[in-house]
Structures are given as C-alpha cells and as structure tokens.
Structure 1
Amino acid sequence: MENIHIYHTNDLHSHFENWPRITELFRKRKQWHTDAGDAVFLFDIGDHLDLSHPYTEATQGRGNASLLETEQFDAVTIGNNEGITLPFDALDHLYDHATYDVIVANLFYANGARPDWCIPHKIYVTDQGTRIGVIGLTAYFHTLYELLGWKLSVPFQALREQLALLQGKTDIIVVLSHLGINDDEQMAEIFPEIDIILGAHTHHILHQGKLIKNSLLAAAGKYGQYAGHIEIQYDPATKKVLDKRAEVYDTNKLPLANNEEEYIENLYLEGKKALSEEVLSLNKPLPKQEIAQLLCDAVLTWCNADVSILNEGLILDDLNKGSVSFYDLLSICPHPINPCTVILTGAELKEVLTDMKRESWETLPVKGLGFRGTLMGKMISKGVQTEVEGQITSYRINGQKLNPKTRYTVAIPDMFTFGDFFPSIYRATEKQYFLPEFMRNILAEALKRT
C-alpha cells in the first residue's frame, strides 16, 4: 500500500500574516512523509495574490510567485485575482522564474494559442510508479479576460478534453478548481472518474472534505486561516484507491513560526518602500468624504457617462497635507475594483437614486466583490440635480428633466454589478467594464489635476 499526501492552499489574497505558519507546517510534514517513503505534493488553487497588499502591488504579484517558489510548491492554478486584476503583461510574465507547474486548462491568448508559461495538465509519477494526473481550471469570467487580451474556454468543456487525453494514462486524477463550490459539486456528479477536487474561489471550508460519488471535495477557506491536507491510500498491485481523507488545519492553532512577526512586517515594509515615490503634493489636508466626491466626479468624466454613483466606503481614510505617494493611495483605496458603466432607463435610474437615500447604506457591512473595506458608506452621485417640492422629489440629468424612457449611461464601481445592491443595476444587460484601471488610478489622476 502506498500513502500519498497532498497539501493545499487557496485564496490567500496576500494575507501573509498566516503564511509563515502554513509554510513551516508544510516543510515539517514534507520531511516526515519523505522520511517515511510516502509521496508528497504541494498545490495552490489560486488567488494567492491580492493587489490590496503593498508587497503584491509593488511587485505586481511576482513577489507572491517567488514565495511559492521558495516553498517548493509542485503546481498552482490561477484565480481571478491573478487573471483579471493584473494587467496583461503582468500576468504574462508573472511566472517567468517559476520552476513549479502552472496548470490552467481553459486559458488562452486572444488568438487561441496557449501561453507557454502554463500547461493544461501534468502527470506526476511517485517513486512507486503511481501516476497522478492533475488538471487546473480557473473561473469563467470570460468577458473581463477578453477585455485584457485573454480568452477563456468553458471550464467543463476544457475538463472533458483533458480527461479524454488522460484516459488510460493515470491511476489517480486531481483537479485544481478555482470555480467555486457549486461547480465543484456539479463536477463530481458529471465526472465520477475524478478522485480529488481541490476547491477555491467561493472561500468555502470543508473540514473533513465532502464525498460526492467517487470524488472527494476539499477546500481551505480563505486568507490562510486554514491549510488543507489530503491523504490517499493506494494499492499499486490492484491499482485501486483504498481510502482517501481530507482535513484542514486551523492556522491559529498552529505553533508560532520562527520570526513570523518580522517576516510579515518585512514583506509589508518592502512593499511600502517600493511604493514611496511621490505622486503629487497637497497644499491642504483632504477628508475622505471630499476625496470620495472628487473620485465620483472623476469617474463621471473618465467613463464619459451621464451620471456617476459610488459609495463613500471606497475611501478608507483622509489624506494629509504634503507629499502623497503610491503607498498612500493604496492605503486609502486598496480595492481591486474597476470602473464600469451600465445603461439604465430613466425609470430604472430613478429607482436607484431613490434607493440611494437609505441611511442603512452607511452601516452596511460588505465583504468580497473586490471590496477591501468594511462598510458600504453613504451613496453619492454626480451629474444629478435633485429638486424637492413638498413631498415630491424630481431629478434632472445634464440640466434636463429625467425622462422615464430615456436611456442613460451610469458610471459605477464594478462591484455594483456583481452584488445585488441595486436590482436595476444587477439586472442590467448592457454593461461595459474598464480594465485594467482601478479606482485608485483614476483618483490619482484627479488629485494631480486638483
């Protein structure tokens, strides 16, 4: 009987505060298993990087790729943070110095060619000759990828093609899936030949895994709060998997890693130093509410829209008088959020403008969707004139009375299209995303002009 161990991480999002304990655990376990003659593999399932951290922003993710190299990971797949928050060239050169495998079966250049830095699958062979086929898949945000110059194929279509190529060539099949729990469950139902599905993207935790038909699903949450471990018992004589088990380790319960505080601080300071270049100088301090208004006005012009709407919670802090660096802009606007426009009828826009008045927005907690703050904040707009007569509120757009049937271009943070904050925006069918510029890039230009 052969024991095979797989350790996995996912959705770290540059939360390096947990990375030292994870890597120390992996190093020790790898040595234990190797000494016992067992096979060991380390896989990351994507979204290791997040441009909200100064070290990642300063290195455009190459620092994250280097950390995986240092820890001798065997393979990674990419998540949407690698795929659509990095500019084209940054992703295309992200793994220039990696010796581990980057496995993504459904990513291509716009011309249909596969990038030479990634492969659709890899067969790993243990010392006892067991063949482990590994396939990688990333989330199907095809519209956003296309805007950056990439092309995605449908994940399950790519998976079916790779499984056909691996048929008869492997003893165990593992999928690195940055698709989310719903797709992983469906994958297990449709493709029972898969033995292990290592999940990500939806930040779910499967403490002891989840068995669906023949497939064992596993996932380790987010931010490095957990690290995953799969143990497979395989009989080379009968070529059968006798047992497979999944577990996760709570990093809060792991022993302190050597010099972990210094390690975490050094990554942060290294990024801060690299982003210390002055962008502009302010002759007076700017409170965050004023900065939000400035950004809202800048987005209106930048997107050439009729109206712009955003939430004040996008701006996390004030700016002091004097020098403002790239680090300062990252600190007050860390979100990997892009501007976007949607087409709304006047009736739909009025519905949004009315809903914006709710005081509950200011204290609404928000997680995910690219948002890296805590509270939504007050909703603000530009390009709208409000008139109140008694109990009746009316609106003017570009000086003209809002017409219920007129189509208006509304500029917003893209998070409004991913989350159901405003039903009319969420349901809108005409949307245009602007990549790779983040809100802080537009803010920087607006501050320079100011």
Structure 2
Amino acid sequence: MKEKVHIYHTNDIHSHLENWPRINHFLVERREAHEADGEDVFIFDCGDFVDRWHPFTEGTKGKGNVTLINEAGYTAVTIGNNEGMTLDHRSLNELYSDAQFDIVLANLFLPEGKRPAWALPRQIYMTSRGTKIGVTGVTAYYHRLYKLLDWELTEPLHELSKQIELLRKEADVIIVLSHLGLQADRWIAENEPGVDLILGGHTHHVLPNGEPAGAALLGAAGRYGEYVGYVAAEWEIEDVSAKTFNATLFETAYLAAPPDETEQMHEWREIGKKLLSTEVVSLPNPLTYSWDKNSELPAMLAEALYHWCGADGALVNSGLFLAPLDEGQVTKYDIHQMLPHPINPCLVELDGGALREVLYQAEETQLPQLTFKGLGFRGVMMGKFVYHHIEADFQNNILQIGGKPLNLEETYKIATIDTFTFGKFFPQIQHAQMKIYYLPEFLRDVMEWHLIQLYK
C-alpha cells in the first residue's frame, strides 16, 4: 500500500506581502483538500520571510510576519540572513515567541555555546501512517556579522553533517531546509547520503521541476513569493526505502485571489504606519532627492555616515533615497519610506590608489545608471554618487579628501554602505582588508540621528 505526502515550501519572500494573500489562500485550501482525502501535508519556509523594508515588518519587528505564518499553517521554518542579521539580538530572540510552528535551525548558538530555546537542531514528524520524516535546517555562514549581534554561528555544512547522521538513525525520510544557496545545496546532495529532499533559498534560484542531485531532489521557489513550491512524495508503507519525489512550482500571479486581497494589503501597511507614527523632528522646509543630480538628502546621508563612522571621507549612492521629506512633522514611518533598505553603515580602509579607482568607477563609468536589487538594496537604480569630504573631478584632474590632494600611498578611512562590501560594484571595497560593520543600525537610523542633531 502506498502513502502519499504533500510538501509545500516557500523561500525568500522578503516581506513581499502583495503576494501573501494568494499564497495563504492557496495553502489553506490545498491543506483542506489533502486532509479531506486522508493525506498528510507539511509546509516549510527556508528563510528570509522577514524583511524590514515593509512597514508592517518594521513596525512589528517581524512578529506580524510570524502571525501570517501561523495563519497559513506552516509546519516548520529555518531562518535566513534577514531574520538573523537585520534584527537586534533581543528582537530575534523574541521573534518566534508566539510561533505555532517549529524553527529548525542547527547552526545558531548563544555566546556561551547553548542553542536558543526557540531553535531546534532537528525535528521528527510522524505521518498518520507512522512514517518518520526528519527535518533539519541551516542558515548562511555570516559568522562575523552574527558575532556583532551577540550570536555564534557554526559552519553550516559541518553542523548539518552531524544532524543528518543522527537523523539517519531515527527517520525514514530526511528533509533539509537550507538557506545556503544552490551550490551548497548541490554539495549537500552529492556528499550527504540519506538526504531525500533539500528545500533551499538564499540565492533566489528557481527550479520549476526541482533538480535531481546525488540521491536527492532539490526544490526552490525563487524570491518574493512569486512562486510556491510543491513536492508530491510517495512510498510503500511496508518499504519506505522505495521513495519518489516529484516537484513543481505554482506561479502566485495565477493563483486564485481571496475576495479581500486588496483590503489585506492595505491593512498591513496601515498597521505598520500607525506603529511608526512617532515624530522624530519637525522640518522648517522640505528636503528633496535626485538620482542624477546633486540634492540635499543624499548629501546629508554622506555627512551623517562620515560623523557616525569617524571617517576621513564618505561615499553613498543617491539611488538609496525613495521618498523626500516634506515640511513639518517627520515620523519614523516617513524616514522608513525614504530609506527602507536593510543596509548597515560600514567603514573601510583604502589606500589612495584604491580610493582613486573607486572614484573613477563612480564618476567615469555607467555604474550610476545600473539597475539592480539585492544585497539589502530595495531601490531601482544605483544613482549618482555623493561624497562628504571628498572631491572627485577627473575632467579637471581634481581628486581631494579633506581639502588635500589625494595621496596614492596614504591610507584613508571611508564611510560607506555594507552593500558595496558584498557586491562586485567596487572590487577595491569588496576586497578591502579592514572593514568595520555597524550593526544593528540601518542607514535610516543614522539619518534619524543626524536629523535630530540638525533640527531638534
């Protein structure tokens, strides 16, 4: 006699709640239909469900997202770097206090080496016919950044091996929830015997029908809730070793919309707006921004980072700004809408030669016109580069920092954004030997601090 189990999965939703009403409606209806047929259903998320670009997430510190996961009936989740690194230690430690699902996470520890009470290294789920499904999960290895937030992160593949070895002795089926990316997932499939299914995320890859690798099947559903993953699993009850897994994706845009879809999205935004309604300052005049010309707000951010980081100079891109500040009352919501990105300040050391190359790329290439998303950036395009205590005019052969000519042999401390240390926009910044990250503060926190200095 065969047993059929239905597995649904999401990853990297990043608080794109415009897709959530359909996803929730779909998952609830599918669960009801499968259970009416006497078949088991499991729903998993592979991390980065929480993203503080959305005011609902920002206002509730991610707890609102947990409520949504509860309502959809998820079985278990693991965390991504957005849960792990964009919330301060206390907020992450309290994020799942009302969770009605398991958080399966093997490689996160408190500084004293204990696991947080809310994180399970592995869990076994029993189907209605007695099959034991073992699940473990791991998140991406940003050890240095987690340490700044008072967490210890162990190397995920090593930790995963230990959990899989234990699950081999306990479970009939082994599932890995991975926020490591596609290449790591392929490595797991090829090198960890006994793993049946790897549901992954982090690199936003789309696997329309899964990807066989080793003896396992990989599943992934892209990003932003654009897809919901589904795996139909089947085996003989008397011999679970004969297992089949078939994967597919459902495109969210073509799922049925609940009748109150628009109202739900409006309500979440209004909840966030209300929670962020605290006044920060009152402006005597509006402050504007431009992506292609000199403007006030980007210049103010560059100055704020310069002071915050104790730098010799600062560099930011004007594409970070997505809204102006109007005259009069400015609230935390206004600042959030202006700078919604989960991006942290960063200080890097560059010698004069490397800084010259950075400025050349910023001024003399097409980089300002680049359109992109990711690495914390939630805008549209890079935009004009703006400096504080730096002057760059290659046409007139003027390169200065702090009012003095740039010395190619001297070392300078440059305040900028962490995005440039992760991406390949500026190789000199990406590969700088000295980088100091400021966590948990985002750019909007630094801007709020600067506005208070100027207008309070």
Amino acid paired to 2:130: G
CA distance in structure 2 between the aligned counterparts of 1:150 and 1:55, rounded to whole angstroms: 25
Q: In the alignment, what sits opposite 1:186?
A: 187
Q: In the alignment, what sits opposite 1:305?
A: 311
Alignment of 1:190-205 (within 5 A): 190-205=191-206
Report if the CA contact (8 A) 1:416-1:422 is conserved. Answer: yes
CA distance in structure 1 between the aligned counterparts of 2:61 and 2:242, rounded to whole angstroms: 41
CA distance in structure 2 between the aligned counterparts of 1:339 and 1:2, rounded to whole angstroms: 52
CA distance in structure 2 between the aligned counterparts of 1:285 and 1:242, rounded to whole angstroms: 64
1:346 deviation in Å? Answer: 0.9
Amino acid paired to 1:415: T
Q: In the alignment, what sits opposite 1:314?
A: 320
Q: In the alignment, what sits opposite 1:327?
A: 333
CA distance in structure 1 between the aligned counterparts of 2:324 and 2:233, rounded to whole angstroms: 53
CA distance in structure 2 between the aligned counterparts of 1:241 and 1:425, rounded to whole angstroms: 51
1:396 matched to 2:397: no
SS in 1 for 2:164: helix
1:36 deviation in Å? Answer: 1.4
Amino acid paired to 1:193: G
1:2 matched to 2:3: yes
SS in 2 for 1:6: strand
Q: In the alignment, what sits opposite 1:378?
A: 384
SS in 1 for 2:185: helix
Alignment of 1:203-214 (within 5 A): 203-214=204-215
CA distance in structure 1 between the aligned counterparts of 2:153 and 2:61, rounded to whole angstroms: 22
Q: In the alignment, what sits opposite 2:419?
A: 415
Out of 252-261 and 379-388, give the one that drifted further. Answer: 379-388
Report if the CA contact (8 A) 1:344-1:407 is conserved. Answer: yes
Amino acid paired to 1:418: F
Q: In the alignment, what sits opposite 1:177?
A: 178
Equivalent in 349, 367, 373 of residue 367 of structure 1: 373
Q: In the alignment, what sits opposite 1:44?
A: 45
CA distance in structure 2 between the aligned counterparts of 1:318 and 1:336, rounded to whole angstroms: 18
Q: In the alignment, what sits opposite 1:21?
A: 22
Amino acid paired to 1:419: G
1:233 matched to 2:244: no
1:13 deviation in Å? Answer: 0.8
Q: In the alignment, what sits opposite 2:258?
A: 257
Amino acid paired to 2:22: R
Structure 1 runs (4+) deviating above 6 angstroms are none
Amino acid paired to 1:323: Q
1:356 deviation in Å? Answer: 1.6
**C-alpha offsets along residues 306-336 of structure 1, whole Å, 9 cap, x if unaligned?**
1110101111122111111111111111000
1:165 deviation in Å? Answer: 1.5
1:359 deviation in Å? Answer: 6.0
1:399 deviation in Å? Answer: 3.5
TM-score, normalised by the number of residues in structure 1: 0.97
Q: Residues 166, 242 of structure 1: CA spacing in aligned structure 2 closer, same or farther, 3 A cutoff?
A: closer
Question: Structure 2, unaligned stretches of length 5 or more?
Answer: 290-294
SS in 1 for 2:245: strand
Out of 131-140 and 161-170, give the one that drifted further. Answer: 161-170
Report if the CA contact (8 A) 1:123-1:170 is conserved. Answer: yes
Amino acid paired to 1:327: Y
**C-alpha offsets along residues 343-366 of structure 1, whole Å, 9 cap, x if unaligned?**
111111111122221362332102
CA distance in structure 1 between the aligned counterparts of 2:374 and 2:182, rounded to whole angstroms: 16
Question: Structure 1, unaligned stretches of length 5 or more?
Answer: none
CA distance in structure 2 between the aligned counterparts of 1:176 and 1:87, rounded to whole angstroms: 23
SS in 2 for 1:292: helix
1:96 deviation in Å? Answer: 0.7
Report if the CA contact (8 A) 2:25-2:257 is conserved. Answer: no
SS in 1 for 2:19: helix
Report if the CA contact (8 A) 1:338-1:435 is conserved. Answer: yes
Amino acid paired to 1:294: M
Report if the CA contact (8 A) 1:346-1:406 is conserved. Answer: yes
Aligned length: 448
1:386 deviation in Å? Answer: 4.8
**C-alpha offsets along residues 46-80 of structure 1, whole Å, 9 cap, x if unaligned?**
11111010000000000001111122211110011
1:344 matched to 2:350: yes
SS in 2 for 1:412: strand
CA distance in structure 1 between the aligned counterparts of 2:257 and 2:66, rounded to whole angstroms: 24
CA distance in structure 2 between the aligned counterparts of 1:394 and 1:242, rounded to whole angstroms: 68
CA distance in structure 2 between the aligned counterparts of 1:95 and 1:241, rounded to whole angstroms: 36
Q: In the alignment, what sits opposite 1:141?
A: 142
Report if the CA contact (8 A) 1:232-1:241 is conserved. Answer: no
TM-score, normalised by the number of residues in structure 2: 0.96
CA distance in structure 2 between the aligned counterparts of 1:196 and 1:386, rounded to whole angstroms: 53
1:449 deviation in Å? Answer: 1.8
**C-alpha offsets along residues 141-160 of structure 1, whole Å, 9 cap, x if unaligned?**
11110111001111110011
Amino acid paired to 2:33: W
Q: In the alignment, what sits opposite 2:106?
A: 105
Alignment of 1:91-130 (within 5 A): 91-130=92-131
CA distance in structure 2 between the aligned counterparts of 1:118 and 1:258, rounded to whole angstroms: 36
CA distance in structure 1 between the aligned counterparts of 2:391 and 2:194, rounded to whole angstroms: 60
CA distance in structure 1 between the aligned counterparts of 2:33 and 2:283, rounded to whole angstroms: 57
SS in 2 for 1:446: helix
1:402 deviation in Å? Answer: 2.1
1:234 deviation in Å? Answer: 1.2
SS in 2 for 1:69: helix
CA distance in structure 1 between the aligned counterparts of 2:372 and 2:451, rounded to whole angstroms: 27
Q: In the alignment, what sits opposite 2:292?
A: none
SS in 1 for 2:350: strand
SS in 2 for 1:266: helix
Report if the CA contact (8 A) 2:359-2:392 is conserved. Answer: no
Equivalent in 292, 295, 300 of residue 301 of structure 2: 295
